[in-house]
Structure 1
Amino acid sequence: MAEIDVIVDSKSEHGVRDPHASSASPNTELVVDVCSACAYGDLEKLRGFVERDGQSVSTPDRNGYYAIQWAALNNFPNVVLYVIEHGGDVNASDHRKQTALHWAAVNGSIPVADVLLQNGAQVEAVDISGYRAVHVAAQYGQTSFLNRIIAKYGADHDATDNDGRSPLHWAAYKGYTDVIRLLLFRNAYQGKQDGNGCTPLHWAALSGNLEGCTVLVHAGNKRELVVKDRNGFTPANLAANRGYRHVAYILSNAGKTRGNFCKGRMFAGTVGYAPILLLLIIILVILFINSIMLGPGFPEATTVVLLWGWIGVSLALSSLIMFYRCSR
């Protein structure tokens, strides 16, 4: 599975600023044109290149990357807006057909995404691999960014790339459980099979992502446990072949346990000691009420003791209700 190719290392033409680093000004020797000024977020130098020297913000660098892409990757919304206002194409794409929105998704630059999408960027723009911004965000675990473009701009969270893989496939493979939960909350289809017949559960098993497998199994149904890819392997088979024995064991036994494991019902056989804990709490509450609250000496207690006693009973009953709701 090939990831999107927008990461530029320190050997690239301009270099990429660490989004978590300070916003100190870069070495002035590195800011030599429009693209480098955008890469480092040097708006003052950018203005000089454009307004004084007449350089164009629409001309790509020697690698075919555009100024707006560099500003988007490094999370400089003010620079992105300046480029757009001075003629930059918000949908300009490089040799891989990636746009600034693709680049913004790598570092989860929400302010940049807002600027781009509010100025005409195509939220469903597709590169040569069929990746959209939702795929890139899922590949890099950018949960907030992904939720933003889905909720506010209507991005298709079930869109597939050229290999038939949805963002859920990518999140499962990369091990980003928060992204998996978000997509499931958005009703992403977890039974979707890619070009190799693999579901997201296959890819979670293939990478040994135990937590992701657990989330997918609980949210899905038993059928997904036995779906086979084109080579005839189930998710459990793939995990076993890769040496992830614990994942294989969990997947192999998930469909055999008593009760409906996948729907997470209250008293399913796989919920462990939850029913016992619930029963124990109920017994203790009953004993407390019968032995203390209804005891012969309790009516003689002070008002404060009576008050705290009934508060304790009320909290215990509230806890039982919340315990039941959480278990469902």
Structure 2
Amino acid sequence: MASSEIEVVSPTESTVLRQQVQNERQHGAPNGTAPASASNVVNVHSASAYGDFEKLRFYVEQEGASVSIPDGNGYYPLQWAALGNFTHIALFIIERGGDVNAADNSQQTALHWAAVRGSIAVADLLIQSGARVEAADVNGYRAVHVAAQYGQTAFLNHIVAKYLADFDAPDSDGRSPLHWAAYKGYVDTIRLLLFREASQGRQDKEGCTPLHWAALTGHAEASSVLVHAGTKKELAVKDKAGFTPAELASDKGHRQVAHFLVCNLYNSSSLNICRRLSRKNQWYFTLSTR
């Protein structure tokens, strides 16, 4: 299990980070966000969301607005800055006392929101300022789960390699980042997690492996990557309802995926898939010996 302790930042890293922030302040944040109109920016939360540094500074320094109070939906300015990948905004908020571990109503922190956008620079700032890498929300999702859910492969690799984030941690339903990447069909994320030796055999509360989820959602390439990196054991595992991945794919009408999985499960010269029968809108495979 990877440590959740925050890595100590060297003076060199801190200097590089602050130079990056200065560049953003002078030339704008590199995320392509369009400037906000005056009508959109009305408080510290909207200023943080739109990356309007001058308005944010005005609200805080001239009007005495707090950066530590959530908006009407329970979201903090730092979360909005993280979602927009506005490192200079995030640094300003932290310097003015913003809590890097402040959690919204679903217990998500700014690091969770950084994972949605893949905001690596903001993640560095947050973690180096004390954000908990393994903070979990009400569903047990950590930043690694959120990154996998949104296909943010570079972000996921960064927090695993640099901050030892647990890339194989289960959420509250027993699903790892690999489960989520398989479910969403994010092949690059799957390859990264397999390279890091994430468990293919982990079963969630429903008894499903990552291959079950790729099959259920009909993601052919994701299923192929998992099959070729795994063993026949994963092909034969049944969930709590008694379905193998191939049977789940067939049940959901994903014929190509089901065919591929059955062929790999029965990859023998003595067996051949001869035909498919349609019964009650469900597809079944029948096998015959040569």
**Shared fold per TM-score greater than 0.5:** yes
Supply the distance in 1 between the matched residues of 2:245 and 2:35 (Cα, whole angstroms): 50
Supply the distance in 1 between the matched residues of 2:247 and 2:181 (Cα, whole angstroms): 20
Which residue matches 1:108?
118
CA distance 1:47–1:20, shift in 2 (3 Å): closer
1:137 is aligned to 2:147: yes
Q: 1 or 2, which has the higher strand percentage?
A: 2
Task: Give the counterpart of 2:98 among 64, 88, 95.
Answer: 88
Map 1:117-128 to 2 at 5 A. Answer: 117-128=127-138
Shift of 1:174: 0.2
Map 1:42-191 to 2 at 5 A. Answer: 42-191=52-201
1:239 is aligned to 2:246: no
Supply the distance in 2 between the matched residues of 1:128 and 1:154 (Cα, whole angstroms): 22
The SS at the match of 1:190 is coil
The SS at the match of 1:129 is coil
The SS at the match of 2:163 is coil
Shift of 1:25: 2.5
Q: 1:95-130, CA deviations, whole angstroms, 9 ceiling, x for partnerless residues?
A: 000000001111111111111111100010000011
What is the number of equivalent residue pairs in this alignment?
241
Identity among equivalent positions (%) equals: 64
1:38 is aligned to 2:48: yes
The SS at the match of 1:152 is helix
Supply the distance in 2 between the matched residues of 1:60 and 1:109 (Cα, whole angstroms): 21
CA distance 1:240–1:23, shift in 2 (3 Å): closer
Q: Which runs of 5+ in 2 are unaligned?
A: 1-28, 270-290
Which residue matches 1:263?
none
Supply the distance in 2 between the matched residues of 1:101 and 1:22 (Cα, whole angstroms): 20
Supply the distance in 1 between the matched residues of 2:162 and 2:236 (Cα, whole angstroms): 36
Q: Which runs of 5+ in 1 are unaligned?
A: 1-18, 260-328
The structure with the largest alpha-carbon Rg is 1
Supply the distance in 2 between the matched residues of 1:211 and 1:32 (Cα, whole angstroms): 46
TM-score by length of 1: 0.72
**Moved runs in structure 1, 4+ residues, more than 3 A?**
19-24
TM-score by length of 2: 0.81
1:204 is aligned to 2:214: yes
Supply the distance in 2 between the matched residues of 1:153 and 1:37 (Cα, whole angstroms): 30
Aligned 8 A contact 2:85 2:122 in 1? yes
CA distance 1:54–1:179, shift in 2 (3 Å): same
CA distance 1:177–1:23, shift in 2 (3 Å): closer
The SS at the match of 2:239 is coil
Shift of 1:215: 0.7
Shift of 1:24: 4.0
Supply the distance in 2 between the matched residues of 1:22 and 1:184 (Cα, whole angstroms): 32
Which residue matches 1:319?
none
Supply the distance in 1 between the matched residues of 2:33 and 2:237 (Cα, whole angstroms): 50
Which residue matches 1:275?
none
Aligned 8 A contact 2:31 2:85 in 1? no
1:225 is aligned to 2:254: no
Aligned 8 A contact 2:145 2:180 in 1? yes
